[in-house]
Amino acid sequence: MPDMPVGILLAQIKQLQGRIIEKKLKAYSSQDLNGSQINILYQLWLEDNITISQLSTRTNLANTTLTTMLDRLEKQGQIIRHRNENNRREIRIQLTDSAKNLRKDSNLVLQEMHEINFNGFTNEEEDLVYSLLLRMKQNLENEDGIYGHKK
């Protein structure tokens, strides 16, 4: 077993990743977004106009954390919240044109991050890292019970 717990290592990677993404995105678009906000926008770029519950599941952010992040994104003019006319309890999240326009720059930044993260890796090593991280994520989701199937 390595000296550093895997959770600490992942937390450090996440912090470094977030700082570098923020710097690079600001250089491209002058937007002041953090890694969690990029995660939210990324999910909305994949599918816009989804519920807060769907967004919470896709980002792995708790509803309370997500709500705070959505408040910031709304103040920045990146998203709009609106109630479903057929179900008043359901709030849907929709991208603004400003957020849609960030997608190109963000994709460039994410591609640069991919190159940084996998610098010196073979294609096979890259595939293995993804496979192992996805397995680890599934283990954590199962333990967390966020998807209703806690052990």
- Residue in the structure block whose two tokens are 């807060």: 52
Q: What is the pTM of this model?
A: 0.80
Would you state the pLDDT for residue 120? 98
Residue 151 confidence (pLDDT) above 60: no
Which CATH topology does 6-117 take? Arc Repressor Mutant, subunit A (1.10.10)
Residue 122 confidence (pLDDT) above 60: yes
Strand 87-95, strand 50-51: pairing: antiparallel
Residue 136 confidence (pLDDT) above 90: yes
Would you state the pLDDT for residue 150? 45
Distance linking the first and last C-alpha atoms of the chain? 25
Would you state the pLDDT for residue 80? 97
Amino acid letter at 41?
L
Residue 29 confidence (pLDDT) above 80: no
C-alpha span between 12 and 10 (Å, rounded): 5
C-alpha span between 34 and 109 (Å, rounded): 13
Contacts of 5 (CB under 8 A, 6+ apart): none
Question: If DSSP codes are grouped into helix, strand and coil, which group holds residue 50?
Answer: strand
Residue 117 confidence (pLDDT) above 90: yes
Tokens at residue 48, please?
């816009």
Would you state the pLDDT for residue 71? 96
Residue 138 confidence (pLDDT) above 60: yes
Domain segments of the chain as ranges: 6-117
**55-98 pLDDT tens trace:** 999 998 888 889 999 999 999 999 999 988 888 889 999 999 99
Inter-CA distances, 85 with 17, 82, 89, Å: 39, 9, 9
C-alpha span between 13 and 117 (Å, rounded): 10
C-alpha span between 20 and 26 (Å, rounded): 10
